[in-house]
Chain A
Amino acid sequence: MISDVDHSVAEKRNRNVREDDIAMSCRVRLARNLAGERFPDWATEADRGRVFAAVSDALRVERPQVRVALIDGFDEQERDVLCESHLISKDLLGRPTGGGVAFESDKAYCVMINEEDHLRIQGFTHGLDMQKAWRTADELDTALEKHLKFAWSPQLGYLTACPSNVGTGLRAGAMLHLMGLRLLGEIEPVIRGLERMRLLVRGVCGEGSEAAGQIYQISNMDTLGTDESFIVSRIQRICAEVVRQEHNARVRLIRESPLVLVDCLARSLSVLQNARLLSTSEALEFLSAIRLGAALKLCTRLSVSDVDDMILVMQPGHLQKWHGVTMTSEERDEQRAFLLRGQMNGIRLKCGAVKAGR
């Protein structure tokens, strides 16, 4: 086993960093509404029930394997699990009766019913294969259109509850882990550059401008005036460019600021190995650093997907479902710390030379 890392080895490793280590997943969603029906925010319970029935009938015909259900039919933990897995939005959970969800076990797509629009057709992929996510959503949309009459006008395209989605109704986004840029203090100019290109940049977890765990969702702002494949390839191209920047940042981090990197990894690891109480956002901060360490192959026995699993199961819904009980927030913090102590047991950093050399 290699216990010492000189710079050239670390750099060679970094060259092996796969795109997926930075680009966690992609999503393409299409907003659709039924002609002649009120949008969900103004619909009556009967209206929403009618829309749900029409959409679920169409889905069952076109996708026999689909599981369609009303949100009311899930208990609170299951709802949180759907939300934490990024299949559905928090917005959908806060809505009155009639909200629904449809997906298959492979979770390549998920349709939200009666969220802000009647349908939000979402295609998902791992990594940065946005074209595939687009094809999934596009094909499902074309299939459903055989049974449902979508509101559409020649001038404004697909008509949506909010004018900010009108036209293609398409939002294409990637979830990027930008921990290297953050450690080098370069995240702000990157975000400002993206916003100047009229892209939306949001933290995936947590509120406010600072993204918890340095996981960002980058997506298009404009939905009218350019066609779907242009929007998708533009976002994919720009996200690939950000991935390249993050990759460069990681190379420079190892070469120019190894102490900053190792210090961050060591602190994060020792908290995860020793803490007795951990909130979700705290845990995410430290796991995010360990995720970088795993991508750079600087942690023994840990792969990036191991860390991704931990990021998922330590969240409130997953944690409670795993234990099969409802817990108070303090009990969760204790269980979370316990879970992560176990997961991190025996993990060590493989960066003696990086540390000692400086």
Chain B
Amino acid sequence: MKCEFCHKADAETAILLETDGEVKELFVCRNCAAAAEGAANKADGAHSASDPVGPPLPLMGMILDAAFEIVGRAMSMSDLTCPSCRITRNEYRKRSRLGCPACYEAFAKELDAAIFDLHRAQQHVGKAPQQAQADMRRRTIEEALSEAVRNQHFEEAIELRDRLRKLDAEKDGEKGQTA
């Protein structure tokens, strides 16, 4: 079988290629396999030069350390403490486990860079607890309501107020059912 890239040399090995979200297997010669690997490493290098093959999970400690090192020095922080669980930045770094959910806010400046290095993303997409969804809907309406009042759009304000009341009524109704 001939190489599926150059169609000259004999195919010796299979490689997996992902293009536009589609995975393809190609049988290629040794040279083309090496070239494909080089290209993939270069593409990865665009994101982080120190991490040519990509899988950072075992390297997580290092990524966190690096993030702390840079941000920590720039902000010349001594030993930041989470107000909720009271663990300090140094304690957290030692175990690379956060203390509590509130740590994400307490150490946000340092964590943001680390989280981006780990996931190459910064914004959650996907599932949210029902309660959080309801809270978010409510907050959106509340903000629109104060905006409407500020601009003296009273008809709109009344409509928004009624929607809030309806939400409250639904919530009470649910409570009545589950109780």
Per the bound structure, the CA–CA distance linking A186 and B14 in Å amounts to 7
Segment among A13-21, A29-37, A123-131, A270-278 that sits at the interface with chain B: A29-37
13 inter-chain pairs at a CB distance below 8 angstroms, sorted by A residue, are: A116-B97, A145-B130, A152-B129, A155-B122, A155-B124, A164-B118, A166-B104, A193-B15, A197-B18, A221-B57, A224-B121, A224-B123, A227-B126
- The reply to whether A38 and B85 contact each other, CB–CB distance below 8 Å, is yes
A79 to chain B, nearest CB (A): 23
B17 interface residue (CB < 8 Å to A): yes
B136 within 8 A of A: yes
5 closest Cβ pairs, A-B complex: A225-B121, A157-B124, A193-B16, A151-B101, A227-B126
Task: Give CA–CA (A109, B97) in the complex, Å.
Answer: 26
Asked, given contacts A164-B60, A192-B37, A221-B55, whether A149 binds B131 with beta carbons under 8 Å apart, the answer is yes
Given A38-B99, A189-B13, A189-B15, does the pair A245, B85 have CB atoms closer than 8 Å?
no
Q: What per-residue 1/0 map shows which CB atoms of B37-79 lie under 8 Å from chain A?
A: 1001000100000000111110010001000000000000000
Chain A count of residues within 8 A CB distance of the other chain: 59
The docked-state distance in angstroms from the alpha carbon of A61 to that of B161 is 36
A223 to chain B, nearest CB (A): 7
> How would residues 46 to 76 of chain A score, 1 for a CB under 8 Å from any chain B CB and 0 otherwise?
0000000000000000000000000000000
Task: Verify B100–A37 contact, CB threshold 8 A.
Answer: yes
Q: Which of B23, B33, B64 contacts A163 (CB 8 A)?
A: B64
* Known contacts A41-B95, A156-B115, A195-B55; A168/B16 CB under 8 A: no
The answer on a CB contact under 8 Å between A39 and B99 is yes
Let me know if A105 is at the binding interface, CB within 8 A. Answer: no
User: How far is A238 from B121 in the complex, measured between Cα atoms in Å?
Assistant: 21
Residues of B within 8 A of A198 (CB): 54-55
Chain A residues closer than 8 Å to B124, beta-carbon distance: 153-158, 166-168, 224-225
**A153→B131 CA distance, assembly (Å):** 12
Nearest to B64 among chain A residues (CB) is A163
Given contacts A168-B126, A224-B119, contact A190 B16 (CB under 8 A): yes
CB-nearest residue of chain B to A199: B55
